[in-house]
Amino acid sequence: MEPKKEIIENKDCAKPIKPEKPKDENISKMNKILSDNTTSEKVFDLLFVIDATGSMSSYINAAKDETENISKELRNLYPEYHFQYGYVFYRDPIDSHDDKHDVINLTDQANSLPEQIKQIEAYGGGDIPEDWVGAYKLVNEKINWRNGMKVIIHLADAGAHGKEFTLSDKYPEESDKLKAELLKCCQNGIKIFGYIIEEDARNSFNQCQNIYRSNGGSYEICEFKIAKDSYSYDSDEYKSSKSKCKKKKKKKCDYDEEKECEEKCERKCEYDEDEYVEYKESKKCEKDESDDDEKCEKKESEKSKKSKKKKHKKYKTCDDKEEENKDEDEKYEKDKMPSKQDRINSEFKARVLDSVKNAFL
């Protein structure tokens, strides 16, 4: 039998501490942490990249007016997803050093965005191309993207700097810069929807799509043009409805009968005065009865005034009728036809929702 080894305690070494039995509440907390880490949350980051030069004020207003509504719609459509929204408003500091870009980083507090967007003003620009390079540089360097669905909705009425994107541009070096920024977006798995507002932006969107798709990215080009006949007085539908409305009114005086209408009114008023004179001469009011005559004259004068007022009211001139019709037409336009801003708001919301739906395909 081997001799027992003598255990020598080293006073310099710390004695091992026996682990305590975990309490029930500690176990439940640990299980919760583990379960949270294993749960893959579905996230969706939606970033709007919007030209903020002078001609784009209506679209900035649409972003302000519709962000909350869009957020509510998306929560109802995709309750399993956690959405965040952000904005990059770009201008053209390449041509004008006074131009600056604005960034509103991604947030799930959609109700706070309208007040922030309200501070954004549309200004600057000058020449046709704008600073797309600066916009996408902010997209890649300033936006806090999460792991999940990433979508950009880009609205522009003017193209990018760089001769490849805008043929007449005087900054050819911008082409390679924009390609580099687009490649970073593509590698980050961002899907892009480019919305053409004016034809000046079409070539730039087409070139971006070619670059993006050739590198395996998802890039769709869409139209965002508001036809003039879809709002205000320019609508054929409105003109037709207005014409029917006028027919129903059956105006008593046509424009050609204006003079006759006025003369008729004047004749009626003159007739009332003549009637009063005849009445005085009929000896119903005696001249020698001065008190009664004065009383009678006063009475008949009041009668004449009332009659004139009544006749004038009855026989309104055609100018008055036209003024009434104009007021009714304006009321009809206000009630039935949307303003340009209302129409842009409606289209903005519809197109954003369509883009999100298409992003899942």
Strand 81-90 to strand 102-107: parallel, antiparallel, or no bridges (unpaired)?
antiparallel
Q: Which residues pair with 45 in a beta bridge?
A: 84, 150
Q: Report strand pairing: 81-90 vs 149-156.
A: unpaired
pLDDT of residue 31 exceeding 80, the answer is no
pLDDT in tens, 299-358: 667 766 666 555 555 555 666 666 767 666 666 555 668 999 999 999 999 999 999 999
Residue with tokens 């009714």: 328
Q: Given this model, what pLDDT does residue 317 score?
A: 60
- pLDDT at residue number 297: 67
Among the ranges given (67-76, 236-245, 254-263), the one the predictor scored with the smallest mean pLDDT: 236-245
What backbone torsions phi and psi does residue 106 show, to the nearest 5 degrees? -60, 135
Least Cα distance to 359 among 211, 153, 209, 182 occurs for 153
pLDDT bin (cut points 50, 70, 90) of residue 98 is confident
CB of 101 within 8 A of CB of 91?
Answer: yes
pLDDT exceeds 90 at position 199:
yes
Asked if residue 130 lies in contact with residue 56, where contact means CB atoms within 8 angstroms, the answer is no
- 258 vs 327, residue with greater confidence: 327
So what's the pLDDT on residue 337?
A: 81
Averaged pLDDT, 257-266: 60
Q: How many DSSP H helices and E strands does the chain contain? A: 11, 6
Write out the DSSP string of 205-262: HHHHHHHHHHTT--EEEEE----GGGSGGG-HHHHHHHHHHHHHH--SS-GGGHHHHH
Cβ atoms of 353 and 67 within 8 Å: the answer is no
Maximum average pLDDT range among 35-49, 58-72, 292-306: 58-72
- For residues 63 and 85, what is the distance between their CA atoms, to the nearest angstrom? 11
pLDDT in tens, 204-254: 999 999 999 999 999 999 999 888 888 874 444 444 444 444 444 444 445
Answer for the pair 129, 164: CB distance below 8 angstroms, yes or no.
no
Output the CA–CA distances (angstroms, integers) from residue 42 to 79, 86, 139, 146, 185, in the order listed.
10, 18, 21, 10, 20
pLDDT of residue 108: 97
Torsion of CA 158, 163, 168, 171, to 10 degrees: 90
- E strands, the chain, are 42-51, 81-90, 102-107, 149-156, 191-196, 219-223
Instruction: State mean pLDDT over 172-186.
Output: 97
The type of residue at 350 is A
Tell me what pLDDT residue 110 has: 97
Nearest to 337 by CA among 199, 241, 213: 241
pLDDT at 146: 98
Q: In this predicted structure, what is the pLDDT of residue 49?
A: 98
| DSSP code, position 157 | S
Beta strands in 257-310 (DSSP E): none
Out of 31-35, 40-44, 160-164, 339-343, least confident range: 31-35
CA distances from 40 to 36, 140, 147, 255, 357 (A): 8, 24, 10, 74, 21
Q: What is the pLDDT of residue 262?
A: 63
* Cβ atoms of residues 130 and 63 within 8 Å: no
Of residues 313 and 295, more confidently modeled: 295
Instruction: Write down the mean pLDDT value for the chain.
Output: 79
Task: Report residue 218 as tokens.
Answer: 């998802």
| Per-residue pLDDT at 193 exceeds 70 | yes
User: What pLDDT is stored for residue 311 in this prediction?
Assistant: 54
* Segment 125-167, tens digit of pLDDT: 767 899 999 999 999 999 999 999 999 999 999 999 999 999 8
Given a cut of 50, whether residue 13 has pLDDT beyond it is no
Q: Is 283 left (phi over 0), alpha (psi -120 to 50) or beta?
A: left
Q: What is the pTM of this model?
A: 0.64
HSE-up of 184 (CA within 13 Å, CB side)?
A: 15
3-state class (DSSP) for residue 10: coil
Position 41 scores a pLDDT of 75
Alpha carbon distance 78, 81 (integer Å): 6
| Domains in the chain: ranges and CATH | 41-228+340-359 (3.40.50.410), 236-336 (no CATH)
CB-hemisphere CA count at 13 Å for 10? Answer: 4
DSSP code of residue 283 = T
